[in-house]
């Protein structure tokens, strides 16, 4: 395990060194893994990730049944005339055996009577004055009959481990008689909001105080990524208060909004360094360069070894048995920088812990730029764009202007090895809606 870097208070000097985005992602990739599984009832499992494959314990259907309304017949003598000797309905089968020259009126889903091997659909059946049935078309054996196990055979794997469950998957679990599955535990995410000037959501701006927009945005992002966002905590610009809240956070991921830059009241970096490990402070990204990444120390037992079997990885606490320590993200207070930092870094970890994909959860489109975009080599730029007439129009505005992300249809990431993109150049746009 690498030795934690010594803490440097940058409030007096500013951020001089900024970690490359690729290096931060590599760090997070190496130190995070899916959380352990838990039993989840199927009525609550939609959107969760299966930790173990599901094998059907039964055949579906478990009996041959009618696929259409009509008459159960013996295909060989379906031409008729056939005497109707009874009825079959779902859960109310015909009790006898169909003989030669006989038919049973049957409803969709009803068990096929003994002796029958086909269904003459109602639309192709003629019933004479004598009550006998005559077919208007040929009927082959097996026609309109759902065989035993035709949908799902007993012993078949119906859902693989690692699958994120969709609504139809939940229905399939119910169909095979499974009421509980093993799913990756949802990560609990703590949101700590710093700043004397902030009012809680639902308030109106008052004088020099503004309403916190980051915590509801982060809660929505966490929900999108399969996490459980805990109620936000509001902290004053006080070192002890920030330190104690970070230290006492009982969560799988901690998001700190604000207090991460170089101002006199930016206490979060030093607090993280005191109670855990401040692995990164300052990232070569715009907006959001004051972003930080840390790992909290949690005591309480021997735990288990690290995710990749590294002999140098320390034992883990029972609360967080698959990560060396809960990851923490220092997200800038400016809302666009907060959104950028979550999307590029924290969101990946929330998804990873919950068993979801590491990649950004946005659809992509190749679109030409309507205007040039300038950048600085060595830095990744998060550029909001609006799609107009088949082209991507850069949306101007600073990191404090959340309306620019609302107006935008998506964003472009200017690669660290580029100094921008020229007008007309085809770029990859990550679409917010998709």
SS3 content of the chain, % helix, strand, coil (to 5): 20, 30, 50
Q: What is the H or E stretch that residue 340 is in?
A: helix 335-341
Measured between its terminal Cα atoms, the distance across the chain in Å is 39
Q: Which pLDDT score, from 0 to 100, does residue 397 have?
A: 86
Do 53 and 158 belong to one domain? Answer: yes
Q: Which pLDDT score, from 0 to 100, does residue 265 have?
A: 78
Do 276 and 217 belong to one domain? Answer: yes
The enclosing domain of 104 has a CATH number of 2.170.190.11
The enclosing domain of 309 has a CATH number of 3.40.980.10
Do 324 and 291 belong to one domain? Answer: yes
333: left (phi over 0), alpha (psi -120 to 50) or beta: alpha
Q: Is residue 159 part of a domain?
A: yes
Q: Which pLDDT score, from 0 to 100, does residue 297 have?
A: 83
Q: Is residue 2 part of a domain?
A: no
Q: Is residue 335 part of a domain?
A: yes
Q: Is residue 285 part of a domain?
A: yes
- Cα 416 from Cα 201, distance rounded (Å): 36
Identify the domain boundary among 323, 353, 383. Answer: 353
253-257 vs 188-194, strand pairing mode = parallel
Do 176 and 250 belong to one domain? Answer: no
Q: Is residue 253 part of a domain?
A: yes
Do 50 and 163 belong to one domain? Answer: yes
303: left (phi over 0), alpha (psi -120 to 50) or beta: left
Q: Is residue 295 part of a domain?
A: yes
Q: Which pLDDT score, from 0 to 100, does residue 17 have?
A: 79
Do 304 and 235 belong to one domain? Answer: yes
Which residue do the tokens 């079959």 mark? 88
Q: Is residue 5 part of a domain?
A: no
The enclosing domain of 165 has a CATH number of 3.90.105.10
Do 216 and 345 belong to one domain? Answer: yes
155: left (phi over 0), alpha (psi -120 to 50) or beta: left
The whole domain housing 156 covers: 39-59+152-183
Which phi and psi angles does 126 have, rounded to 5°? -115, 130
Q: Could you check whether the bond before residue 287 is cis, i.e. omega within 30 degrees of 0?
A: yes
Q: Which pLDDT score, from 0 to 100, does residue 303 have?
A: 31
Do 347 and 275 belong to one domain? Answer: yes
- Cα 143 from Cα 68, distance rounded (Å): 10
Per the structure, the count of domains in the chain is 4
List 411's β-bridge partners, or say none. 384, 430
Q: Which pLDDT score, from 0 to 100, does residue 315 have?
A: 34
| Helix axes of 268-275 and 239-248: crossing angle, nearest 10 degrees | 50
Do 295 and 399 belong to one domain? Answer: no
Do 326 and 367 belong to one domain? Answer: no
Q: For residues 136-150, b (16+ Cβ closer than 10 Å) or e, as one string?
A: eeebeeebbbbeebe
Q: Which pLDDT score, from 0 to 100, does residue 417 have?
A: 95
Q: Which pLDDT score, from 0 to 100, does residue 434 have?
A: 65
The enclosing domain of 375 has a CATH number of 2.40.340.10
Spell out the alpha helix ranges (H) of 152-235: 167-175, 214-224
3-state secondary structure of 101: coil
Q: Is residue 69 part of a domain?
A: yes
Question: pLDDT digit of tens for each residue in the chain (434 aa)?
Answer: 445 566 666 666 666 778 999 999 999 999 999 999 999 999 999 999 999 999 999 999 999 999 999 999 999 888 879 999 999 999 999 999 999 999 999 999 999 999 999 999 999 999 988 999 999 988 999 999 999 999 999 999 999 999 999 999 999 999 999 999 999 999 999 999 999 999 999 999 999 998 999 999 999 999 999 999 999 999 999 999 999 999 999 999 999 998 787 677 778 999 999 999 999 999 999 999 999 999 998 653 333 333 333 333 333 333 334 345 899 999 999 999 999 999 999 999 999 999 999 999 999 999 999 999 999 999 999 999 999 999 999 998 888 889 999 999 999 999 999 999 999 999 999 999 96
Identify the domain boundary among 334, 353, 372. Answer: 353
- Cα 407 from Cα 423, distance rounded (Å): 21
Query: In sequence order, what DSSP letters do the residues of 54-73 get, joined into one string?
Result: EE-SS-BSSS-EESSSEEEE
Do 286 and 215 belong to one domain? Answer: yes
What value, to the nearest 5°, has the Cα angle with vertex 413 and ends 409 and 416?
170
Q: How far is CA 237 from CA 110, 189, 218, 268, 271, in A?
A: 70, 22, 20, 9, 12
Do 249 and 397 belong to one domain? Answer: no
Q: Which pLDDT score, from 0 to 100, does residue 324 have?
A: 53
Cβ–Cβ < 8 Å for 288, 25: no
- Cα 333 from Cα 234, distance rounded (Å): 13
């Amino acid at each position: 395990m690498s030795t934690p870097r010594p803490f440097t208070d940058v409030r007096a000097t500013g951020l001089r060194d900024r970690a490359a985005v690729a290096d931060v992602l590599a760090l997070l990739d190496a130190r995070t893994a899916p959380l352990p599984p838990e039993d989840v009832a199927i009525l609550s499992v939609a959107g969760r990730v299966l930790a173990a494959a599901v094998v059907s314990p039964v055949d579906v259907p478990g009996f041959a049944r009618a696929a259409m309304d009509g008459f159960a017949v013996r295909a060989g003598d379906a031409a008729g005339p056939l005497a109707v000797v009874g009825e079959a309905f779902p859960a109310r089968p015909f009790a006898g055996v169909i003989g030669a020259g006989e038919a049973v009126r049957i409803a969709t889903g009803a068990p096929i009577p003994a002796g029958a091997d086909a269904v003459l659909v109602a639309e192709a059946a003629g019933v004479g004055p004598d009550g006998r049935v005559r077919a208007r078309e040929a009927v082959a054996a097996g026609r309109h009959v759902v065989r035993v196990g035709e949908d799902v055979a007993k012993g078949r794997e119906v859902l693989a481990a690692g699958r994120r469950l969709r609504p139809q998957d939940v229905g399939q679990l119910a169909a095979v008689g499974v009421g509980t599955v093993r799913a990756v535990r949802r990560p609990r995410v703590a949101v700590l909001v710093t700043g004397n000037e902030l009012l809680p959501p639902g308030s109106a701006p008052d004088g020099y105080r503004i309403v916190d927009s980051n915590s509801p945005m982060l809660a929505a992002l966490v929900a999108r990524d399969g996490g459980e966002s805990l109620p936000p905590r509001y902290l004053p610009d006080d070192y002890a208060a920030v330190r104690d809240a970070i230290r006492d956070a009982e969560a799988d991921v901690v998001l700190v909004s604000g207090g991460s830059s170089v101002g006199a009241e930016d206490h979060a970096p030093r607090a993280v360094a005191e109670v855990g490990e401040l692995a990164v402070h300052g990232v070569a990204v715009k907006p959001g360069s004051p972003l930080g990444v840390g790992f909290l120390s949690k005591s309480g037992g021997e735990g288990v070894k690290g995710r990749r079997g590294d002999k140098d990885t320390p034992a883990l606490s029972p609360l967080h048995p698959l990560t060396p320590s809960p990851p923490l993200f220092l997200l800038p207070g400016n809302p666009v920088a907060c959104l950028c930092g979550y999307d590029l870094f924290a969101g990946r970890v929330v998804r990873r812990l919950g068993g979801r994909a590491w990649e950004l959860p946005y659809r992509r489109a190749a679109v030409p730029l309507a205007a040039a975009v300038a950048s600085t080599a060595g830095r990744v730029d998060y550029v909001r764009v609006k799609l107009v007439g088949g082209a991507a129009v850069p949306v101007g505005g600073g990191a404090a202007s959340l309306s620019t992300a609302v107006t935008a249809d998506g964003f472009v990431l200017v690669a660290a090895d580029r100094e921008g993109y020229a007008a007309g150049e085809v770029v990859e746009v990550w679409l917010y809606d998709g």
